Amino acid sequence: MSISALTCAGNVNLNANVTLGNASSDDITVTGSLASSISIKTTNTYNIGSSTLGLASIYFGANSQTVRLLGSGSMSATWTLTLPVTAGSAGQVLTTNGSGVTSWTTKVGAWTSFTPTGSWTGGNVVYTAFKRQVGENYEYDITVTCSGAPGTGGTLTITIPDTMDTTKMTATAPAPLGIGYVNDSSSTFYPAVVNYNTTTSVIVYVSNSSGTYGITNVVSSTVPMTFGAGDVVSIRFTAPISGLSV
């Protein structure tokens, strides 16, 4: 049976399988409100719209309020946005790889304290430190405070509790990672550069009289002065860390 036009006034119940339209050129016009949930029979099979025909916007609501999602009125190309496989963690933000594939990223984490170790030892040396996650990196803030001459002196190396990912570094030793200063307790400050030493440690260079940072100017118990009570080495640097996810 073929009906070219049908008008129904009142309620209409259609049971069993119902097909509306038999060609992509057919138009289906619905005037009214949806009063039930719609379940999809086959998972990951059907689309709403196409690459050339899309919805103007979608409303999501609760408590008699709605949130409207819509595309930009200035769109000049069709693109796809792929959501992550998980809900992410608290404080993470949604980022894209530039091709529409998104992932959760830890933008900047909170500062947490930790106790580093170093080549200077003894009761006259105290290490204090904080770190925070910035993407796939950790940012470190470390201070070495002397109350007297270091028990074990020599070149100062500072060890962190993490492993640097050298595959994400353009260079290793003597790659600069950050900056800092050395203070000799008499209000004299020496600018310093933090350099990669090993995958778990850094060394510190101070400038010489010409303002350069040379391999011979590495901070030691006698460079840039003989360290004693009240002397401080303070550094801040950032490094990519192996196994750190965003």
Side chain identity, residue 148: G
Q: What is the mean pLDDT of residues 170-181?
A: 83
Question: Which residues, in sequence order, are CB contacts of 133 under 8 Å at separation 6+?
Answer: 106, 108, 109, 139, 244
- Per the CB < 8 A criterion, the answer to whether 122 and 152 are in contact is yes
Closest CA relative to residue 235, chosen from 176, 185, 163:
176
Token code pair at residue 56: 């103007």
Determine the Cα angle at 158 with ends 157 and 162, to 5°. 135
> Residue 89 above 80 pLDDT?
yes
Residue 213 has pLDDT above 60, yes or no: no
Can you tell me the mean pLDDT for 31-35?
82
- What is the residue type of 98? G
Identify the pLDDT of residue 214.
Answer: 57
Q: Is the dihedral of CA 70, 76, 78, 84 positive or negative?
A: negative
> For residue 105, what is the enclosing H or E element?
strand 102-105
Measured CA to CA, the distance from residue 115 to residue 136 in angstroms comes to 21
**pLDDT beyond 70 at 210:** no
Domains of the chain: 112-240 (2.60.90)
Q: Distance from CA of residue 242 to its chain's centroid?
A: 14
> How much is the pLDDT for 4?
75
Q: Which of 81-90, 121-130, 172-181 has the lowest mean pLDDT?
A: 172-181
Average pLDDT over residues 146-160: 94
